[in-house]
Structure 1
């Protein structure tokens, strides 16, 4: 596995990899952007990238522009050496490990999230968060120029906005959604789960329990969004709820679940930790 920190060096390396195969055409590149503290969810993204591409690039970059003032940038879990080992054992070809100054300069060109989709749900309580997400993802996609880039469905709003950016800016990368990976007890994997105390972790299970309740209702042909949200809020108990929503794949509110075109999303705070989860129906 090759480790590179310079964007220009990475671009030259990938260009050389493609030139080395002569007239056979370009190698397909699968790209997995991460902020580090890798877990089985990230490994599932890498595995999918390996299945579908000839070359796999993973980036580890803790992006400062998507953290708002007072958020957990300084205490976000960092496991650099463990992350490198995970990437190597997972068969990653290139690990892109840039510093902040490699990605950002002074007097930056800014990229803004959509005025509607970027400021609802998570964007409502974290205004400008998605500006930072989209900016760094566009930078990374322009550096790697991958055939396909892989993102988890757990961060559904992020996935939706990145897909929209790629489409609207006519970028030559296919965005591939990958299913959420869960612990055996149902808790969705997240790098921020390490913040949870043992008591808080038990409380956090109410999130996946609420989604199972919603899925059970749909299975009984109870499709009314208000009824589903009411039952989910009951399952969440006294957790601090940011939102519980039933939306279509364009992130528009639905009065009734439409099978094949619905995401049920929830965000709560457990202790000091924000937790996101969802189901796609």
Structure 2
């Protein structure tokens, strides 16, 4: 355990804590989070720590703009004291934990936020999670842009579990010429394959077992991917079909290019899945490599269908 990181709650406090690093030209590494930190977040902090001998900054902010009025904003866990312990263990230097009024002066409301300047994420934000959660990525990119402006990092680390978010943030950095290196860290998993998520704590024991179908479906698709995109899709859907009988509600299964376009007939791609178990919405994804070493024949009796776009 290291000494506790310095906690900043205002823009002025954050600027003061980073002033020396800016004067000396030290590399600043940044990990944005919404708190409720777990081993997946700790892995991001280790990646950031390895990227610099300068300061590592972690933000903890539950951003209201990325939650629809019907979503679980109030339910989302707030565990600042425990989060500071995680940050201390990973040698984080500064934790920025602002109030909503600090990030949205005058307060936040969905009705008025677009009266000010926000980030429009483009067409890529209308598919997959963006189709299921309209406006979600407007909120994500707007708050990340604000945090980038306040922290002014050289390197920012995000998890690959939120893969669509990672792709969109990289595009924002590129298109707005922000000059930040965006690192995508691999997803950390439980021994049974379930991707770590702050929302996993909402699952009871039976639901947690059902939730492992997401990672099992992705692995099944990886194994069949050498036989082509249809074979990979069928393998994943076969696993998910069984889980639906146990209470899983599939949102989407998508096989895409690494940039979330159309999946190639042969070459690198991505497979992404989202589903609801009880009231808890979960997402997962993995890289995948397609080939065409044999024609795929989908076995009879597999009429199960769900959204598989794009």
What TM-score, normalized to structure 1?
Answer: 0.93
> What CA distance in whole angstroms lies between the structure 1 residues aligned with 2:259 and 2:213?
27
Is 2:42 the partner of 1:43? yes
Give the superposition deviation at 1:280. Answer: 1.1
Give the superposition deviation at 1:56. Answer: 0.3
Give the superposition deviation at 1:112. Answer: 1.4
Give the superposition deviation at 1:255. Answer: 5.1
Distance 1:16 1:255, change over 3 A: closer
Give the superposition deviation at 1:126. Answer: 0.5
Unaligned runs of 5+ in 2: 107-114, 289-310
Residue number among 216, 232, 236 corresponding to 2:236 in the alignment? 232
- Map residues 188-207 of structure 1 onto 2, 5 A cutoff: 188-207=195-214
Q: What is residue 83 of structure 2 aligned with on the other side? A: 83
SS in 1 for 2:59: strand
Is 2:247 the partner of 1:254? no
Is 2:131 the partner of 1:128? no
Residue deviations 1:39-97, cap 9 Å, x none? 00000000010011121000000000000011000010111110011111210000001
Larger radius of gyration: 2
Q: What is residue 295 of structure 2 aligned with on the other side? A: none
SS in 1 for 2:74: coil
> What CA distance in whole angstroms lies between the structure 2 residues aligned with 1:100 and 1:133?
14
Paired residues of 1:117 and 1:161 also in contact (CA < 8 A): yes
Number of aligned residue pairs: 270
Q: What is residue 65 of structure 2 aligned with on the other side? A: 65
Residue number among 150, 161, 164 corresponding to 2:168 in the alignment? 161
Distance 1:257 1:183, change over 3 A: farther
Residue number among 14, 18, 30 corresponding to 2:18 in the alignment? 14
Unaligned runs of 5+ in 1: none
What TM-score, normalized to structure 2?
Answer: 0.85
> What CA distance in whole angstroms lies between the structure 1 residues aligned with 2:94 and 2:179?
20
Q: What is residue 222 of structure 1 aligned with on the other side? A: 227
Q: What is residue 159 of structure 2 aligned with on the other side? A: 152
Residue deviations 1:86-135, cap 9 Å, x none? 11121000000100000002453122121x20110000011000000000
